[in-house]
Amino acid sequence: MSEQTEKPRGKFFMGAPEESEGFFEAAKDGRLLIQRCTSCGEHQFYPRKVCIHCGSSAVEWAEASGKGTVHTYTVIHQQGMPVWRDQVPYVAAIIDLEEGVRMTSNVVDVEPSDVSIGMAVEVTFVDEGMYVLPRFRPA
């Protein structure tokens, strides 16, 4: 078996691929998009064709503030894929955005030992080559 030495290539998507395009396009411009339902006003993430709160198909993109808190996290100390080995240790986290949705991401620009549950964070964007992805740093 050969070791993977390049980052995986292919299309990232969340939910249905066509619902993900706007998210990744906006990330290139440094904007964090979630969906908002124009029928009930609730937000949701990941993107879907219908509102998970009321079932309406009247969902549209809304720019999130990018502010949130660490809901939970773990520090990754071992990485089996060679292409990411030089990044350990890193923090994988679930972020509660102030709009009320949760997003899986990484906490960056901080020592992993300084991350805590409830920590205030803000979005930052990291160019990963094929994609620009939202990450979070201490606010």
Nearest to Zn ion of 40, 120 (CB atom): 40
Distance CA 75, CA 16 (A): 30
Nearest to Zn ion of 4, 56 (CB atom): 56
Residue with token string 């030089």: 86
Q: How many residues bind Zn ion (CB under 5 A)?
A: 7
Interaction residues for Zn ion, span 35-54 (CB under 5 A): 37, 39-40, 51, 53-54
Tokens representing 68 are: 């949130």
Nearest to Zn ion of 19, 122 (CB atom): 19
Give the nearest distance from C-beta 55 to Zn ion in angstroms. Answer: 7
Q: How far apart, in Å, are the Cα atoms of 130 and each of 58, 67, 69?
A: 30, 25, 27
Torsion sign, CA atoms 62, 65, 71, 72: positive
> Going residue by residue from 47 to 86, which x/- string records binding to Zn ion, judged by CB under 5 A?
----x-xx-x------------------------------
Pick from 89, 93, 135, 101: nearest CA to 118: 93
Nearest to Zn ion of 62, 110 (CB atom): 62
Residue ranges in contact with Zn ion by CB under 5 A: 37, 39-40, 51, 53-54, 56
